[in-house]
Structure 1
């Protein structure tokens, strides 16, 4: 069996997504830093989990070659 080109491309896209997400959340640190800690905590918890949502279609594409 020959290896699929989708796996390395998908891994690159996953790394790019994580990098972009990190820069986006870091850019929000100044405005969010002025909020109370009890307000910041759920926001950062949501942002820490929300980056996983776009991975499902990407991982599916890596495995089967279709987005749906």
Structure 2
């Protein structure tokens, strides 16, 4: 079985997704820093979980070549 090109491309896409997400969340830190502590906690917990949502279709595409 030969290596597939989708896996390296998918890994680069995952790294790019993480980088973009980190920059987006970090750019909001000045605004979020002024919020109440529990609101900050809720924001960062949700932000820490939401980035995972696009990974399922991306990982499926890496394995099968299909988005659905």
Q: What is the CA–CA distance in structure 2 between the aligned matches of 1:64 and 1:10, rounded to whole Å? A: 12
Cα deviations by residue, 1:4-57 (Å, 9 ceiling, x for unpaired): 000000000000000000000000100000001111101100000000000000
Which runs of no fewer than 5 residues in structure 1 stay unpaired? Answer: none
Q: What is the CA–CA distance in structure 1 between the aligned matches of 2:5 and 2:38, rounded to whole Å? A: 45
Q: What is the CA–CA distance in structure 1 between the aligned matches of 2:35 and 2:4, rounded to whole Å? A: 47
Which runs of no fewer than 5 residues in structure 2 stay unpaired? Answer: none
Show the counterpart of 1:43.
43
Length-normalised TM-score, structure 1: 0.98
Q: Please, what is the CA RMSD of the aligned residues? A: 0.4
Show the counterpart of 2:18.
18
Show the counterpart of 1:53.
53
Total equivalences in the alignment:
68
